[in-house]
Every structure is written in C-alpha cells, then in structure tokens.
C-alpha cells in the first residue's frame, strides 16, 4: 500500500479487506481517514472564533478526556490528538457531550477533506503552554520526521466476544456500518485506535501527532521546567485562584481562511452572546430539559 497520508485513490477500503493483517488494517484506516466528506469538530463558540482568527488547533494528550481508557491509551503512546466526527449529519449526543455547556455555547466547525489533507503536509508544530483566559505561550517548535510524525486515522469500535465452540477471546469490531470478528492480536498495534462499542455514534476520525524520542525529550523537558518554576514560587503564596494549566501541541491549518459562516453550525439550543454561523438543522426538534 502506498503512503497513506497521500492516498493514490479516492475509494474507501471496506472493513473485510482491511482485516487481512495488522498492516492492512492500520494503513487502510489512515487511507480512509483522509477521504471523508466532512470532519465536524464539536466545541465552544469561543474556541471556534479564536480558530477563525488565527488558524491554530490544539491537540492534547488525552488527560481529562471523557473516555478514560482512550485517554490513557493516547498518553501511553506519547501521542496528542484532535477528534472529528466524519458523520455528515449532526448528532444530539455529540452536542450534549462536546458542545460547550451542554450545547448552550456549542458550535461545530465543519472542516473539509482538503483542510485535513493540507494539515498533514505541515512541517512543524509548536509545544505550547495553555492557561485558560491568558495568551497561549509558545515554548518550542518541533520538526516533522525528526521530533514527531503526523497522521489521521479512523477509530474502530470493539466489543469482546468468544469464538463459537472455543474459549478463545476475540473482538467484534465495527467500522462505519460494517462488522467483523477478529483475534485480539490484530488490533493490538500502536497505530490502531479502538474504543468501546458504546462510543460508536461518534464516528470518530482522529488527527494524531506522535512524538519521537527526540520530541518526547523536548516536551518532557518543558514540562519539568514549568514544574520547577512553580516549585520555586513562594510557598506562602495563595494558589487557590490559580487556573489549571497544561501543555499541548499547537498545529496550523493552512486553509482556515476558506472557512466562513456556513462552516460554523450553532447548536440546537445555542444561547451565547456571539451570533455567528448558521442555525442547527436540529433547532426546535429536541427537548433539552433532561
């Protein structure tokens, strides 16, 4: 198979072909991931407007993600990710989970295939220090191929099963609307992301920056330096008002200026102060007083 970040075709590979072996599965999921029509990022209006002004996305290491096993998996791989839904339709559950304040300040940024493919061609990313409500501080710049690798992959949804007539444990995996039962060893690969079947409605495609050893040394060096700065502060200083800070990877989206008001969808229950983008197709159809 050719370089999956630059697929040689425009045809999605079916799951039954992907599961031939680990390589075909991992590479096929990356091949398919850059061929979707839509990539929805459910977020807040504040974050969306900031993105439209500067064109930067933040990728995090999974700490604090609502799916804890998934977050732990990312951190163990020294990876940073940004999640998108490749569904062409809005999803009520996604609005409630990821649209800020249960959708009341939520929007979805609708990225296109060209946006994602252009991002994969970027040759650098920044390590940044984020403190909510303050300007993001750039700490280091990492180089692609030296300090990190970048790719996009679709997520598999799995549930454990036993093969009929045996004690052998396998997994029934779901991808889009296809299902296959496979051995555990097939999906045990750092390139393959699996989540519990309960998350299937997300139809997730994930952009991933994976640090090399040199990139990890740089990142961990910055983390330790910031910790030392905190420890050197006066121990008597009142820290009760300090905001939770974190380190992230900041990535530039070359085609962000092509996005406009039609690329931003306001949630069905949006009541924020900034009125931008178009109204949700679900507006007036859902009772959100749950």
Instruction: Give 45-73 pLDDT, tens digit per residue.
Output: 999 999 999 999 999 999 888 888 898 88
Q: Is 118 inside a domain boundary?
A: yes
How many folded domains does the chain comprise? 1
What rounded mean pLDDT belongs to the chain?
91
* Nearest Cα residue to 151 out of 59, 234, 254: 59
Report how far residue 125's alpha carbon sits from residue 221's, in angstroms, rounded to the nearest whole number: 16
3-class DSSP state of 113: helix
Q: What are phi and psi of 218, to 5 degrees?
A: -65, -45
Helices (H), 10-99: 15-18, 22-33, 45-54, 68-76, 92-98
> How would you list the strands of the sheet with 178-183, edge to edge?
178-183, 169-175, 156-162, 194-196
DSSP label of 154 = E
**What range does the domain containing 258 cover?**
36-155+193-231+247-279
Q: Is 145 inside a domain boundary?
A: yes
Q: What is the pLDDT of residue 8?
A: 47
Q: Is 185 inside a domain boundary?
A: no
Q: Is 1 inside a domain boundary?
A: no
Task: Tell how far CA 220 is from the center of its chain.
Answer: 21
Instruction: Give 7-30 pLDDT, tens digit per residue.
Output: 446 899 999 999 999 999 999 999
Instruction: Give 145-186 pLDDT, tens digit per residue.
Output: 999 999 999 999 999 998 877 778 899 999 999 999 999 999
Instruction: Give 210-248 pLDDT, tens digit per residue.
Output: 999 999 999 999 999 999 988 886 665 655 556 689 999
Please check the confidence at residue 4 and state whether its pLDDT lies above 50. no
Q: Is 204 inside a domain boundary?
A: yes
Q: Is 30 inside a domain boundary?
A: no
Q: Is 239 inside a domain boundary?
A: no
Query: What percent of the chain is modeled with pLDDT above 90?
Result: 78
Q: Is 175 inside a domain boundary?
A: no
């Amino acid at each position: 198979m050719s370089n999956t970040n630059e697929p040689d075709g425009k045809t999605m590979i079916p799951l039954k072909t992907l599961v031939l072996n680990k390589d075909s599965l991992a590479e096929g999921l990356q091949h398919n991931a850059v061929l979707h029509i839509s990539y929805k990022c459910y977020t807040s209006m504040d974050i969306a407007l900031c993105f439209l002004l500067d064109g930067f996305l933040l990728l995090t290491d999974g700490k604090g993600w609502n799916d804890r096993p998934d977050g732990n998996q990312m951190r163990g791989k020294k990876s940073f990710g940004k999640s998108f839904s490749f569904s062409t339709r809005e999803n009520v559950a996604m609005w409630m989970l990821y649209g800020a304040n249960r959708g009341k300040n939520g929007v979805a940024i609708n990225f296109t295939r060209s946006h994602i493919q252009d991002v994969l061609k970027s040759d650098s990313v920044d390590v940044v220090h984020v403190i909510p409500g303050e300007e993001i501080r750039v700490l280091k710049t990492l180089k692609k191929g030296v300090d990190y690798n970048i790719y996009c992959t679709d997520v598999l949804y799995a549930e454990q099963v036993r093969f009929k007539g045996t004690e052998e444990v396998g997994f029934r995996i779901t991808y889009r609307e296809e299902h296959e039962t496979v051995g555990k060893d097939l999906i045990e690969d750092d390139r393959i992301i699996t989540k519990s079947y309960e998350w299937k409605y997300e139809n997730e495609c994930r952009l991933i920056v994976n640090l090399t050893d040199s990139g990890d040394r740089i990142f961990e060096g910055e983390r330790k330096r910031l910790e030392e700065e905190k420890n050197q502060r006066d121990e008597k200083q009142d820290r009760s008002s300090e905001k939770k800070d974190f380190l992230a990877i900041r990535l530039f989206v070359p085609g962000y200026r092509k996005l406009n008001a039609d690329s931003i969808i306001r949630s069905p229950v949006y009541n924020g102060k900034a009125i931008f983008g178009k109204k949700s197709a679900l507006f007036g159809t859902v009772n959100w007083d749950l």
